Amino acid sequence: MAEGFFERLNESELGQLAEFGSKLGGTYTFVAGIVSLFEESDTDKILGAIEQLREEMQRNFQQLGDLIIQQTQIIVDVDNRNAMASALASSETAYFQLQRYLETNAMDALEAAENESLRGVGFFTNLGGSPDPYFVPGLLKAGTIRLLVIAAEPLSFRSDAETITAQINKISATLRAMIDSIQQRVEAAHTVDRVSHERLCPDCNTPHPPAGCVRP
């Protein structure tokens, strides 16, 4: 580990986020292993995933986003921050409506989950070709909720495979672009620089070369 790097983090009291960042995504990866987008999913498994997701959702995404801002030196305008908060509120509504549907089988809850999850993830996928990496934590949350909603829908309710594939590809492409942006910015911030100077030294190419002389 580069000692200096962590000294910098500790100085700005951000060292505690190292563990947070490294743990993020456990449930998001797990979710993908238990649901199917093209077959009927096991309702109990989705309920279990929702329970696990609760912990991820309670983590402070704002803090991780702020760390990404600091380390990649990007500026996110207030309008976009507010829009993200609104989008994540939609995703959380979808999350609770999904849970209600799975527990009660109420179709209005499923429809609300469908609409709100689309609205939530839509903010992130519509950020354009170079989305700010600040939004990665939010996209993980909104994307995962969207996947859970799709997986929980009965096949008769679910969109066709082509539509679902297009949605997942768009979400994946947005995440890919954000990850690439983080990597590029972090790599650009780190440099190796030569430290040198010029000095006047005694020349060896003289009739009586002095001690410590240097040949041109």
Site for another protein in 54-93 (CB under 8 A): 64, 67-68, 71, 73
Cβ closer to another protein: 89 or 179?
179
- Which of 134-164 are b and which e, b meaning 16 or more Cβ less than 10 Å from the residue's Cβ? bbbbbbbbbbbbbbbbbbbbeeeebeeeeeb
- Rounded to the nearest whole angstrom, what is the least distance from the CB of residue 136 to another protein in the complex? 6
Only one of the segments 32-40, 74-82, 97-105, 120-128 lies at the binding site for another protein (rule: CB under 8 A); that segment is 32-40
Write the single-letter amino acid at 213.
C
CB atoms within 10 A of CB 110: 21
- CB atoms < 10 A from the CB of 40, how many? 12
Cβ at position 193, least distance to another protein in Å: 4
Q: Shortest gap between Cβ of 118 and another protein (angstroms)? A: 16
Q: Is 22 in the site for another protein (CB under 8 A)?
A: yes
Give dist(CA 155, CA 37) in Å, integer: 9
Report the alpha-carbon distance of residue 14 to residue 31 in Å, rounded: 29
Instruction: Give the C-alpha separation, 71 to 132, whole Å.
Output: 12
CA angle 4, 5, 8 (to 5 degrees): 85
Residues between 160 and 189 with contacts to another protein, criterion CB under 8 A: 165, 168-169, 171-172, 175-176, 178-179, 182-183, 186-187, 189
**Quick one: 100 or 177, whose CB is closer to another protein?**
177
Alpha-carbon gap, residue 187 to 115, rounded angstroms: 39
Choose which of 12, 29, 58, 156 interacts with another protein (CB under 8 A): 29
Q: Find the binder of another protein among 38, 40, 89, 107 (CB under 8 A).
A: 38
In the complex with another protein, the residue whose CB is nearer, 82 or 183, is 183
User: In angstroms, what CA-CA distances link 29 with 23, 35, 143, 193?
Assistant: 11, 11, 12, 39
Please give the residues from 94 up to 153 whose contact with another protein meets the rule CB under 8 A: 136, 140, 143-144, 147
Nearer to another protein, 95 or 112 (CB): 95
Q: What's the angle, vertex CA 155, arms to CA 149 and CA 157, rounded to 5?
A: 70
Least distance to another protein from the beta carbon of 197, Å? 5
| Count of residues that bind another protein according to CB under 8 A | 72
